[in-house]
Amino acid sequence: MIHPIVKYGDEVLQKQAATVTVFDSELRRLIEEMFESMYAAQGVGLAAPQIGISKRVAVIDITSGKDPKSKIVAINPEIIATEGKQTEEEGCLSLPGFRSSVKRPEKVTIRAQDAKGHEFTMRGEGLLARALCHETDHLNGRLFIAHLSALKREFILRKVRKMMKLGDW
């Protein structure tokens, strides 16, 4: 099932998502639906709050479905180490149409659990490091615009509010 993507303005995107404690078939179905919804929206990462479910589940595939081996499921992820810096354009399915330069670590190590609840650590660099940070942020109620200057953030949010008023959001 493909879920519609929740956009900026919905409070589910701004709150701390709940820790996952039950690793059952319902969770595995949620993960499958998240991949389906992410591919349908042409994203490289998706956090459960983006389909309205406030749970600490994130899926990532920086190849956008081209390489099945690159599918990543991170449940209850935590960033445990970072190295270096990178600044690249970043966007979010919950803020469609907006992209901005965001400074992130060049290398990131996360600790998370897989769909069966087994703990693992994983290291990513470049775009993958960026995606790991971006999705972990979502689970803490933070969008990429939180990393921008107040001026740049307001520039985006003013446009969003205008679209909301026009019913185009």
Q: Choosing from 88, 89, 106, 135, which is the catalytic residue?
A: 135
Report the C-alpha gap between 19 and 25 in whole angstroms.
17
Residue closer to Ni ion by CB (options 113, 144) is 144
Binding range to Ni ion, per CB under 5 A, among 22-30, 62-70, 85-93, 102-110: 85-93
User: Measured between alpha carbons, how far is 80 from 110 in angstroms, rounded to an integer?
Assistant: 5
Q: What share of the chain is helix, strand, coil (3-state, %, to 5)?
A: 35, 30, 35
CB of 87: closest distance to Ni ion in angstroms? 18
Q: How far is the CB of 30 from Ni ion (least distance, A)?
A: 17
Region of 51-59, 90-98, 101-109, 145-153 interacting with Ni ion (CB under 5 A): 90-98
Find the shortest distance in angstroms from Cβ 119 to Ni ion: 24
Angle, CA of 26, 131 and 76, to the nearest 5°? 40
Size of the site for Ni ion (CB under 5 A): 1
Greatest CA separation for the chain: 47
Cβ–Cβ < 8 Å for 70, 62: yes
Name, in order, each residue with C-beta under 8 angstroms of 110's C-beta and a sequence gap of 6 or more. 74, 77, 78, 79, 80, 121, 122, 124, 132, 136
Instruction: For Ni ion, give the closer residue by CB, 12 or 117.
Output: 12
Number of Cβ atoms within 10 Å of the Cβ of 162: 11
How does strand 119-125 pair with strand 86-91?
A: unpaired
Q: Mark 12-51 with x for binding to Ni ion (rule: CB under 5 A) and - for no binding.
A: ----------------------------------------
Annotated catalytic residue 135: yes
- The answer to whether residue 92 forms part of the interface with Ni ion (CB under 5 A) is yes
CB of 15 to Ni ion, least distance (A): 15
* Residue closest to Ni ion (Cβ): 92
Residues serving a catalytic function are 135
Binding site for Ni ion (CB under 5 A): 92
